[in-house]
Amino acid sequence: MQTVFEIDHPLVHHHLTHLRNKESTPHIFRSQVRRLAVLLAAEATRDLPLRSKTIETPLTEMEGTVLDVRIGLVPILRAGLGMTDAVLDLLPTAEVWHLGFYRDEHTLKPVGYYQKFSSHPPDIVFVLDPMLATGGSAVAGIQRVKDWGAKEIRMISIIAAPEGIASVREAHPNVKIYVCKIDAGLNDSAYIVPGLGDAGDRIFNTFV
Ligand code: PRP
Ligand code: URA
């Protein structure tokens, strides 16, 4: 079963270049995150189940089709928030459940600080985080979603390192991963290279 999907699309290449560019201001960066999140979500929802629905157009009655699944979005704070509204525009009935992790700058391990889940998980959960670096945050986030009881989980990231992809595949072999680009690797500080820098800081303009 294919579990890693790297989207090869001219719009992805175009918008990703503007996203990576260090000259892109937070305003531009946020727009690019949203555009790429839509393109990723279109790919990650390609096989969602449908049911038929009878409607009337201004001309006639017809059988249409609508989504037939309870969908949850789980953005990993903070940077995952940058993708959430864009994906919600495509999936307006989705529920949004938040998960907070930051990466400890010394140990590089994810530290959980927030979780807001309901008692009944959705049928399918899309975990949103633009960066999949060591994979620590994604592995821990997906584990929380699994512990919640979700049966179908998909990871949506804009840029991944091969190391992050490998660790998610090892820990969660059934989780499909959708990315715009798998980059060359990680530097000594576990930043993705060529990457785009710190996604959270670039979205929220929090450089110190
Ligand atoms: C970034 C990113 C991921 C994580 C990826 O978040 O958004 O959550 O790092 O790194 P990993 O794969 O090595 O775990 P960060 O910890 O910087 O928090 P932030 O979103 O609040 O800036
Ligand atoms: N988190 C980021 O925001 N960027 C990286 O390159 C790695 C982790």
Question: Is the CB of 161 inside a 6 Å radius of any atom of ligand 1?
Answer: no
First vs last C-alpha separation in the chain:
44
Q: Which helix (H) or strand (E) holds 82?
A: helix 81-90
Q: CATH classification of 4-49+63-204, choosing from 1.10.238.10, 2.60.120.260, 3.40.50.2020, 1.10.645.10? A: 3.40.50.2020
pTM over 0.95: yes
pLDDT of the residue at 126: 98
- Ligand 2 centroid to residue 202 C-alpha, Å: 10
Residue 130 CA to residue 24 CA, distance in Å, equals 16
Ligand 1, atom nearest to 164 Cα? 12
pLDDT digits (tens, 9 = 90+) for 1-24: 899 999 999 999 999 999 999 999
Residue 86 CA to residue 45 CA, distance in Å, equals 14
Question: Is the CB of 200 inside a 6 Å radius of any atom of ligand 1?
Answer: yes
Tell me the two tokens of residue 175. Answer: 């989780």
- Ligand 1 centroid to residue 16 C-alpha, Å: 18
Parallel/antiparallel/unpaired status of strands 95-96 and 50-56: unpaired
Buried-state track 159-177, b at ≥16 Cβ within 10 A, e below 16: bbbebbbebbbebbeebbb
Which of the residues 54, 57, 60, 107 is marked catalytic? 107
SS3 25: coil
**Whose CA is closest to atom 3 on ligand 2?**
198
Question: What angle separates helix 26-44 from helix 10-20, to the nearest 10 degrees?
Answer: 150
pLDDT of the residue at 26: 98
**Whose CA is closest to atom 4 on ligand 2?**
198
**Residue 198 a catalytic site member:** yes
Question: Is the CB of 198 inside a 6 Å radius of any atom of ligand 2?
Answer: yes
Question: Is the CB of 195 inside a 6 Å radius of any atom of ligand 2?
Answer: yes
pLDDT of the residue at 179: 99
Tell me the two tokens of residue 113. Answer: 């600080």
pLDDT of the residue at 56: 98
CB 73 within 8 A of CB 91: yes
**Residue 107 a catalytic site member:** yes
Question: Is the CB of 195 inside a 6 Å radius of any atom of ligand 1?
Answer: no
Beta bridge partners, 124, equal 71, 152
Question: For each of the chain's 208 residues, which pLDDT tens digit applies?
Answer: 899 999 999 999 999 999 999 999 999 999 999 999 999 999 999 999 999 999 999 999 999 999 999 999 999 999 999 999 999 999 999 999 999 999 998 999 999 999 999 999 999 999 999 999 999 999 999 999 999 999 999 999 999 999 999 999 999 999 999 999 999 999 999 999 999 999 999 999 999 8
Amino acid at 204: F
Ligand 2, atom nearest to 186 Cα? 6
Phi, psi of 111 (to 5 degrees): -115, 115
Show me where the domains of the chain are located: 4-49+63-204
Which of the residues 103, 144, 154, 202 is marked catalytic? 103
